[in-house]
Amino acid sequence: MTSPSLRVLVLEDHAFQRSVAVNLLRELGCHQVFEAADGAQALAVLEQVGSVDLVLCDLCRKGLDGLGFLQQVCRHGLVRAVIISSSLPADLCRAGRQIITLLGLEVLGEVRKPLQLQALEPLLSKLQASRYTRPAAPRSVTLASEDQVRRALDEQRVQAWYQPKYNLLTGEVCGVEVLSRWVHPFLGIVSPAAFMPVVERCGWLDELLYGQMNHAMQLHKQALARGFDLNMAFNLHTRQLLDHELIPSIQRILGRHGVSGAALTFELSESGLLEVPSTSLESLLRLRMLGCQLSIDDFGAGYSSLKRVCQLPFNEIKLDAEFVRSLDQEPRCQVAISSTVALGASLGMSVVVEGIETPEQHKAVLALGCIQGQGYLYGRPMKSGELLSWLNRRTMSGADSSLEPGWRVVEYGN
């Protein structure tokens, strides 16, 4: 039985089907169930009762259809998740799921008509469980001003936080990704989406990177002294590759801290690799010559060709998290993951799967041949002191104890 705290809206134009859905939801423990016959009526219901956790929605109807309704409500954060109830062909439902996901809504799955209790119950349980493992999608992001970001950088409030990367077979922590978090004195932890566009626009990316590296190199030595040899992965923008001072600056930081380049990985988003000029290619090559690893981040989310992947000196692929999130609803994602693993093996590149949040996803990607992963199931982004304490606790209690329902820091400013 699900929690009665779930608020559900049934959007169905067929009166009998709507009645069946409402009764099944109440039988499953959802005491707050609202109903509407069309999109306009559904909007009126939400205006009266407020936001809901779930909409059980048929995409195809007269007037304001399901997609049109969801496009309107997502702008105001009135709906968190969607179950598609439809008799449309599978390929049309698949396209509908992709559109809904792009709207920022979680698609729990699809149920066919007539609606059955055994099809609906696991999807509701999935929604109930996800309430404790991941936050609702942010409604909007307010971009910080240049003065605010500049002051935050000067006061060192934009800090390096660390998220573990795992060997999925052994549970061993094989590295960490270095992330930026703005620790605001009043707002708490501000989302990177609120300040990173400003950092990029104002040309402060190098300043941020070098500050992160100095902090991370200190942490690397502290971790090494405790027996943890952590590879540190930094996000690098393709425009930074054009700077002739990039490689010398990285060399100076490594020399200052007495750390080998083999301890570093630089991640570049796939979308920025479509056109890489010769100057950038030289920088990539020199990073590899320093011993650094190079990773294609968010692979599968951009548009770079396989030819570019073969041309550039990368040795790691980080598969975009959306493939894992869509495993249950989209069978093609399984093929995409296994094909990427095979591609990596053929090219001599390791593959890291991002976005693993549940034990079921962990088992699924292992079965598809994945060896390395990252996600809230294993560890949240944390400050350096928290990371060292967390590593010590894992050592004392055993690596498998870390594979528990993940959690993440609450990001303000969304």
Task: Write out the catalytic residue numbers.
Answer: 354
* Structure tokens, 77: 């954060």
Q: Is the dihedral of CA 51, 52, 53, 58 positive or negative?
A: negative
Q: Locate 171 and state its tokens.
A: 């549970």
- What is the length of the chain? 414
Distance CA 106, CA 304 (A): 27
CA 235 to chain centre: 15
CA R_g for the chain = 23
DSSP state of 409: P
Sheet of strand 106-111: strand arrangement: 32-36, 7-11, 52-57, 79-85, 106-111
Separation of alpha carbons 229 and 220, rounded Å: 7
CB 59 within 8 A of CB 70: no
Which structure tokens are listed for 45? 């219901």
Strand partners, 412: 190
List Cβ neighbours of 212 (8 Å cut-off, separation of 6 or more).
Answer: 160, 178, 180, 234
Q: What is the signed CA dihedral for 118, 119, 120, 122, rounded to 10 degrees?
A: 80
Task: For residue 284, give Cα distances in angstroms to 3, 255, 268, 278, 371.
Answer: 52, 19, 10, 10, 25
How many CA atoms, within 13 angstroms, populate the side-chain half-sphere of residue 156? 5
Please tell me the distance from the alpha carbon of residue 257 to that of residue 220, in angstroms, as a whole number.
10
State how far the Cα of 9 lies from the Cα of 15, in Å rounded to an integer.
14
Query: Which residues share a beta bridge with 232?
Result: 176, 264
- Token output for 109: 């799955």
Residues 193, 189: Cα–Cα separation, whole Å:
12
CA distances from 22 to 31, 67, 176, 258 (A): 10, 21, 46, 65
HSE-CB at 238 with a 13 A cutoff on CA atoms is: 15
